[in-house]
A and B are shown apart, each in its own frame.
Chain A
């Protein structure tokens, strides 16, 4: 059928064109801009040199490393916190599985910014949490959480938890209970059953969840901006400033690509280490 061959292309056309024009083309534009020089007023010209990149690396390499490190820590924390949770819902949730799953999603109906401002409020130096602990004398008067890495990392851990928990749950829920019974029948201890059957079978979920957490975490802007301070600046804030405050588009574009490169390398190493090819789900 000749018509049948054309149909999928026609169906894909509107969305594909949209993504080509407003996703792929901007990326190409930015790549080109990152090799240009000049200013917003005088216009840019293509230089073909990587000056913007070398400048960015010398100026911001520390912040780039910090962003990758924070992303790594947040990914590890969300994994450790949500694995037992996902496990419990998948294997012990019973008829309430749906309820628990929806409860995990529910807080995230509230806009990201409002959630983060709420954390800022909770963690405030003399807010009801720290203030009370200070009044009781458990904490030192000078103790603070805001503007420290702890605040930024815990904010991101909170905000990205469902991105980890849901893929984990999906992977765990899929596991055929008979595999676990078989392991027990073959005299495997609970620990061995978990380590040699459940855990390996849930690795696609671990991989998907890690990607969904790590990528937005490394490039995060809101948490470091509203919970952090001068010592927690992340690369997203630098990009934002280059584009919207200094109007230095070439420099901003170069940093943006460095961020992408850093993420790609991280994801690649991780995929190699885990040995899974579940990248596109």
Chain B
């Protein structure tokens, strides 16, 4: 788990790299890298495996037999509170991703298409939510809600999720709008398109992949969030807060299945991304 195999260092000081040596070096480094990637998948593999477990008691700790039981809808939906938490998570994810993507895209356009007073300061301000620990943001928001006597619930969770997602969307979309060829828009304008038509037919199609990547990032951040939600959820549970509560009495197999299904969504995303880019370019979600 720690860095067991640092890249092998060349021993001799010969300057002309002999092909066999290069190859061996590359092989060690490749082996090491693949080992690290395998390590990243270790807890995922365990999670998936124990989603097929058939535990006798309440604790899903030892593998006692293979079953597909928990993938059947009746078993998967056996916990009403978990279903409710899932519903909340999806609602929060949908609304917050939509809002954060809209706000973030507009800001990214403003920052990269226009020079205006206070642009540098605004950039720095947008960086702050990403540089603040979740626990600080979560507790600060709670302090505000308590001071203003706002009761906590689904609305406050959505408010919080939009807040912490905006900056990530800005960064993702900005990477694309900053490198956009302005001549394409100028050409549209020269051909008589008004600004809105130019945006709709030229700019938007060009930045759509980045907007989708931003939306995906916002959705993942929202679905994943535990700490900020914990402070502002009131009596409402999302999937992570429900699971956290369930740890006290033993996490049911359903959670493993749920995690596996979410992971599969990620797999589908990766496959689509690979087919679309066919080994060229950088995936849109990676920061540049």
Residues of A within 8 A of B (CB): 4-5, 7-9, 11-12, 14-16, 18-19, 22-27, 29-30, 33, 40, 77, 80-82, 84-85, 87-89, 92, 95-115, 117-119, 121-122, 124, 127-128, 154, 157-158, 161, 166-167, 169-170, 173, 184, 187-191, 211-212, 215-216, 218-222, 226, 235-236, 239-240, 243-244, 249, 252-253, 256, 259-260, 263, 267, 279-281
Flag if B42 contacts A122 (CB, 8 Å): yes
Q: Which residues of A contact B281 (CB under 8 A)?
A: 98
Q: How far is the CA of A102 from the CA of B285 in the complex (A)?
A: 9
- Across chains A and B, which 3 residue pairs bring their CB atoms closest together, nearest first? A219-B133, A109-B266, A15-B103
User: B283 contacts which chain A residues (CB < 8 A)?
Assistant: 98, 101-102
Chain A residues positioned under 8 Å from B280 (CB to CB)? 98
Interface residues of B in 41-82 (CB under 8 A from A): 41-44, 46-47, 50, 61-63
B166 part of interface (Cβ distance < 8 Å):
yes
Interface pair B106/A256, CB less than 8 Å apart: no
Interface contact tally, CB-CB below 8 A: 289
User: Given A12-B107, A110-B47, A117-B251 in contact, is the A221-B266 Cβ separation under 8 Å?
Assistant: no
Does B209 belong to the interface (CB within 8 Å)?
A: no
Whether A107 pairs with B166 at a CB distance below 8 angstroms is no
Does B113 lie at the interface of the complex (its beta carbon under 8 Å from any beta carbon of A)?
yes
User: Do residues A239 and B61 form an inter-chain contact, with CB atoms below 8 A?
Assistant: no
Known: A118-B43, A128-B62. 13 other contacts (CB 8 A): A8-B114, A12-B110, A18-B103, A29-B143, A97-B282, A107-B40, A108-B220, A109-B262, A110-B47, A111-B224, A119-B43, A169-B286, A221-B134
In chain B, positions 236-288 with a C-beta closer than 8 Å to chain A are 239-240, 243-244, 247, 251, 255, 258-259, 262-263, 265-267, 269-270, 273-274, 277, 279-283, 285-288
B140 CB to nearest A CB, Å = 4
Listed residue (B32, B132, B262, B285) with the most chain A CB atoms within 10 angstroms of its CB: B132
Q: Which residues of B contact A117 (CB under 8 A)?
A: 243, 247, 251, 255
Please determine whether B47 and A114 come into contact, CB atoms closer than 8 angstroms. yes
Cα separation A25 to B283 with both chains bound (whole Å): 36
Looking at the complex, which one of B119, B124, B239 makes contact with A111 (CB distance below 8 Å)? B239
A14→B102 contact, CB < 8 A: yes
Question: Are A184's CB and B15's CB within 8 A?
Answer: yes
A111 B240 Cβ-Cβ under 8 A: yes
The chain A residue with its CB closest to the CB of B265 is: A109
B interface SS class: helix
Query: Is A89 in contact with B33, judged by CB distance below 8 angstroms?
Result: yes
Please determine whether B226 and A18 come into contact, CB atoms closer than 8 angstroms: no
Residues of chain B contacted by A11 (CB below 8 angstroms)? 106-107, 109-110
10 sample A-B contacts, Cβ–Cβ < 8 Å, listed by A number: A12-B107, A22-B163, A30-B139, A77-B2, A98-B279, A103-B270, A106-B266, A119-B43, A122-B42, A184-B17
Q: Which residues of B contact A9 (CB under 8 A)?
A: 110, 116
Least Cβ–Cβ distance between A152 and chain B, in angstroms: 13
**CA of A127 to CA of B49, assembled, Å:** 14
Give the size of the chain B interface in residues (CB under 8 angstroms): 109
Q: Please pick, from A98, A221, A226, the residue contacting B282 in the complex, using a CB distance under 8 A.
A: A98
Are B267 and A110 in contact, with the CB atoms below 8 A?
A: no
- Residue A249 contacts which of B30, B143, B167, B266 (CB distance < 8 angstroms)? B143
Q: How far is the CA of A215 from the CA of B130 in the complex (A)?
A: 9
B30–A22 contact, CB under 8 A?
A: no
Residue from the list B135, B167, B224, B244 in contact with A239, Cβ < 8 A: B135
- Cα distance, A113 to B258, chains bound together (Å): 12
User: What is the CA–CA distance of A128 and B247 in the complex, to the nearest angstrom?
Assistant: 19
Query: Is B235 on the interface with A (CB-CB < 8 A)?
Result: no
B30-A121 in contact (CB<8A): no
Residue of B114, B135, B273 with most chain A CB atoms under a 10 A cut-off: B135
Q: Which chain A residue lies CB-closest to B109? A: A11
Of A122, A187, A219, chain B has the most CB atoms within 10 Å of the CB of A219
Chain A residues positioned under 8 Å from B2 (CB to CB):
77, 81, 154
Q: Please, which residues of chain A bring their CB within 8 A of the CB of B140? A: 26-27, 29-30, 253, 256
Assuming A22-B160, A98-B277, is B223 touching A85 (CB within 8 A)?
no
Contact yes or no, B162 A18, CB < 8 A: yes
Select from chain A the residue with minimum beta-carbon distance to B44: A107
